[in-house]
Amino acid sequence: MRGTPYLDIYTVPADGGAEKKLAGFFEAKELHLSPAGSKAAFVRGPGNWARRGYRGSSNDDLYLANADGTGTRRLTTFNGQDASPMWAPDGSKVYYVTEGGGAERCSNIAVQELTGLAAAGEPKMLTKQTDDLIRRARISRNG
């Protein structure tokens, strides 16, 4: 196989039926639907966490879109790795793992308040790792 393989995203009705390919999720990975199912948070980029501390064009950023793939907007612009988007139970904010805002070569959990599909203010760092990294954090159903 030549080039980079990309995955497509499909929906299938819960009671059965034909699948439907969703547009607007080019290079999407780690896609998570909001609790109401109306929005999606996902990671886009060729980033690789094995390259701790790398800064450049091969980084991952977070994006938001409507669940059907329309209205895609970039949420993070940090020149490093951002990953593992997690919705707050009420869908008003997204938690995520970032290499930004902490000690060099470490990662932390940040939270970003939202207004629709856009950031509302600056992200807030929730953890302060100084000698290690967080990779795949998860949030509980009740926050």
Residue-wise pLDDT for 9-63, tens only, equals: 888 888 999 998 888 888 888 999 999 999 999 998 877 666 666 667 778 899 9
Number of residues written out for the chain = 143
pTM comes to 0.84
Which pLDDT score, from 0 to 100, does residue 53 have? 64
| Structure tokens belonging to residue 118 | 């856009």
Cβ-contact 10, 20 below 8 angstroms: yes
Side chain identity, residue 134: I
Residue among 142, 59, 76 nearest 111 (CA): 76
Euclidean distance between CA atoms 39 and 28, whole angstroms: 14
> % helix / strand / coil in the chain, to the nearest 5?
0, 35, 65
Where does residue 98 fall: left (phi above 0), alpha (psi -120 to 50 degrees), or beta otherwise? beta
pLDDT, mean of residues 78-99: 92
Token pair 């080039």 in the structure block, residue: 3
